[in-house]
A and B are shown apart, each in its own frame.
Chain A
């Protein structure tokens, strides 16, 4: 637990909390916009094909989750770049490797911090955004309501899977940043992954949970593999 506290001391957590707040507000604004797009485009008649994605909660949930996934993946990559790449590829490596602690223990803590911050913030943000959208839709009587229990479960599961996916993207992009010893490469790599992966979330809104579960499984396996490669490199690292 002490190592977590020490590693957290090294970063300005408040900066990332402000970033999370900014992402949350942007997503909320877009979510509210999505609610009214269907009304504007199709007049609520449900005939416009383009507006179909905005016509029911499955579509709206997949859209907001896809957007949240994109934002929190980039955030995860930024944190990973700062916490892992900047530390090991910068001049701090000398002091970091001079501690009487197993090198892998520090890397494990750093990765868990990246995953912890990304997953928690993504989960809370997405639940709040969709929850607030649901309340607004209820108040204005727009978008057909769905079974509340089923909806809560779907939102919770998709949010937690999206959080896991985002943190996995952060760890995966670290591999490329490590290769080039660059924070920028880490973030750009996350951006490229996000551009491709986001499309899969909106492919089948009705099966969003299954799609995200499959994606999470693949991404977590890749992230785990990359973690082991990084751990091996750090073990043999010379500065």
Chain B
């Protein structure tokens, strides 16, 4: 399986606080990798470093075979939703996505993407009129409209209703089956369990535990969440 993301022994500190410490991980093609960790564990920082939004103090990150520090060209194949997505609120969803495609220098069927995220009926409305959940869906649409090979989603299900959560989970699975790799972060075990193939627990700045969901679920059954919480407690995560 092709390696899409390769994080090698990276470090990052903000002043005296070491946020990422000798962290390494690999994400393979078509895989959904769930990044679990408590608030402030460094999940968002790690994701931002993969996107080139934060610089690392040490180590290297390769995305689709290109080193992140070599330039922003690799971002044409990366889609992301980091924190709460922001938009130009006077634009409509249609205009926003066509603008995004121009920046990404790609072409795609905007209508199909809007249909996929359930925004086809409001595509001409200004984004300022959207609800929080609709904005979250639009953020996801923006992340996938240019057909990226890697999708980085930082707590993408925040603010969504249960139906939307189920739909987005299904969408992530479809995308992974099409060969898109997804890095998904959350502090909610249930959310990651139902979506990810592999889980990495980020603590003290590095991936302290890594396991496949299938194996652990067959091992622990319904006790999966309890197992992960216990693991986090034992390890002092």
Contacts and interface: CB of A to CB of B under 8 A. Distances in A.
A102 B76 CA distance: 12
B48 interface: yes
A95 interface: yes
Given A94-B83, A94-B86, A99 B75 contact: yes
Nearest to A238: B54
A91 interface: yes
The range of chain B's interface size is: 20 to 34
Nearest to A2: B102
Contacts of B82: 94, 98
B9 to A, nearest CB: 20
A127 interface: no
Interface string A68-108: 00000000000000000000001110110111111100000
A100 B86 contact: no
A10 B54 contact: no
25 contacts: A2-B102, A9-B88, A9-B95, A9-B99, A10-B88, A91-B83, A91-B86, A92-B86, A92-B88, A94-B83, A95-B85, A95-B86, A97-B53, A98-B53, A98-B75, A98-B80, A98-B82, A99-B75, A99-B103, A100-B72, A100-B105, A101-B72, A102-B72, A238-B48, A239-B53
B97 to A, nearest CB: 12
Contacts of B99: 6, 9-10
A150 interface: no
Nearest to A93: B53
Given A6-B99, A9-B91, A12-B90, A99 B54 contact: no
- Counting chain B CB atoms within 10 Å of each CB, the highest count among A10, A95, A100, A102 belongs to A100
B51 A98 contact: yes
A101 B74 CA distance: 10
Nearest to A12: B90
B52 interface: yes
B103 A101 contact: yes
Contacts of A99: 72, 75, 103-104
The range of chain A's interface size is: 20 to 34
B73 interface: yes
Given A99-B72, A99-B75, A101-B72, 8 more contacts: A92-B86, A94-B53, A94-B86, A95-B86, A98-B53, A98-B78, A100-B73, A101-B103
B83 A100 contact: no
Contacts of A101: 72, 103
A100 B95 contact: no
Contacts of A236: 55
Contact of B75 (A9, A12, A100): A100
A99 to B, nearest CB: 4
Contacts of B80: 98
A2 B84 CA distance: 28
Contacts of A95: 85-86, 142
Contacts of B105: 100
Interface string B48-62: 100111110000000
Contacts of B53: 94, 97-98, 238-239
A9 B88 CA distance: 9
Contacts of B52: 97
Contacts of A97: 52-53
A5 B84 CA distance: 26
Nearest to A91: B86
Interface string B63-98: 000000001111110101011111010110001000
A95 B99 CA distance: 12
Interface string B191-215: 0000000000000000000000000
Contacts of B78: 98
